[in-house]
Each structure stands twice: as structure tokens, then as C-alpha cells.
Amino acid sequence: MARLLKQIRQRFGISAPRMTVQTHVAWYWRWLGMLVFLSLALALAAWMYDTGRRFAGFDRGELQSQLARLRESMSRLEDEAARLRAIANASESRLKIEQTAQAQLAAQVKTLEDENNRLKEDLAFFENVVPAERRGDKVSIHRFKVERDVLPGEYRYRLLVLQGGKLDREFHGSLQLVVEMQQDGRDATILLPEANDAGNAAFKLNFKYFRRVEGTFRVPAGAKVRTIQARILENGSGEARASQNVNLS
């Protein structure tokens, strides 16, 4: 009994253990408080970081302003570069047009010079030959030339046809070319114009005093032209009124 009373005094008496009373707080209020605390801590850390950079000479606002100015300058430079490229392209186009025009003019000048030289040759020829040719009543061929042209197998011919006599009528006829060549080790002959091209105006001759004739013809690839004969045929006659040969071999 005495032992039981002692235990009771120890448990409920002056020497009994202290009891703590705590107020119960809901869990969502605890989480809300933690979030508020973390937000304040982060804001304080950001403020301290920004203050430290300013103190060290780094201003975020100034950097953004500089970046904006740099972007604006870069945009202006790009616009200027585009404008200069457009001017350069236009200048290049004009230069090409001028170069093309100059090349065409040079070609025209060369053509006119060649034509002038031929006219001078014709004039000199007529001054010396026409009086003698008029003594006879005939058609003659003069200055018959054949040269290789630019393309392979292409030839350019040129000749002057003159009518003698009293010159009281026009000559109506045609030109015929007889091309003798060697092809694949065998001799071959081509008549121009061909039968299916007999109406070609380039071979027709209608003149009273003289007629200068020039043109081109082609032979098969690999053929070697040896001789070209020019014949002047009069309408209604199967015989050649005049002929002349050029040897290329």
C-alpha cells in the first residue's frame, strides 16, 4: 500500500512529468507557410544577386538597352547591304547589256567593213573588166571562192556572175554547185540544190548587169571535199552558160 501511494505521488504530484499541450495545425496551412517562406527566400536571393552584379559594375537594364541598340544597328546594316547588293546587281546587269551591245556593234562594224571591202573589190573589178566583157554576148563567173565555215562539214561559197553584150535583157537562170568529195574511202558527188530543193531562192539568178551570190552548204560528217564546180544555167536550156572550179584538196 505504501508503495502504491508512492507511485501515485510520483505520477500526479509535484515531481510528476510535465505535460505539453500543442495546438493542432492543418497540413495545407503548413504547406502554404512553407511556400510563402520559399518565395520570400528566392526573392531575397534574386535581389541580393542583382545588387551584387550592380555593385560589380553589371547592370541588366543597361545590357538590354545595349542589345536593343545593337539589334537596331544590325538591322540598318542589313538593309544597307541589301540596297548595295541591289545596286551591284543592277550595275552588273547594265554592264552585261553594254558588253552585249558592244559585241553586237563590233560584229555589225565587222560585217559592214567586209561588205565595204567587197564593194571596193567589185568596183575595181568592174572598172577593169566590164568594157572587155561587153564585147561578147555571154555570162561569166568571177572570183569564185569556197572556204570552210565555223561548223564541221560546213562550207561558205562566194562568186560574182556577170552578163556581157548589149545588156538589153535580163538573165533568168540558176546556180548549180557540183561538189566532188571522198567519203568512207570512196568518191562521191553532190549536186546543189538537191532535187527536192530545186525551188530554193538562194540558187535563183535574175539580173541584168551582175549578181553577187554567196551562201553555205554542208557535206556528211567525215567527208573530204576535193573540188567544187559552179555552173550557171539559163532557164529553158540544159547546158551550162558558164562554169568555174575551185580545188580544195
Tell me the three cell numbers of residue 200. Answer: 530554193
Tell me the three cell numbers of residue 136. Answer: 561578147
Per-residue pLDDT, 75: 86
pTM (2 d.p.): 0.50
- Cβ-based neighbours of 228, under 8 Å, separated by 6 or more: 146, 155, 157, 177, 178, 179, 180, 245, 246, 248
Residue 70 pairs in a beta bridge with: none
The domain 136-247: what is its CATH number?
Answer: 2.60.40.10
If you average pLDDT over every residue of the chain, what do you get? 79
Taking the C-alpha atoms of residue 184 and residue 220, their distance in angstroms, rounded to an integer, is 10
The DSSP output letter for 179 is E
- The model's pLDDT over 42-89, given as tens digits with 9 standing for 90+, comes to 877 777 766 666 655 555 666 778 788 888 888 888 888 888 888 888
Judge whether 243 and 231 are in contact, CB under 8 Å.
yes
Tell me the three cell numbers of residue 201. Answer: 531562192
> For the chain, which residues make up each domain, given as ranges?
58-133, 136-247
Taking the C-alpha atoms of residue 87 and residue 83, their distance in angstroms, rounded to an integer, is 6
Q: Is the previous residue joined to 193 through a cis bond, with omega within 30 degrees of 0?
A: yes
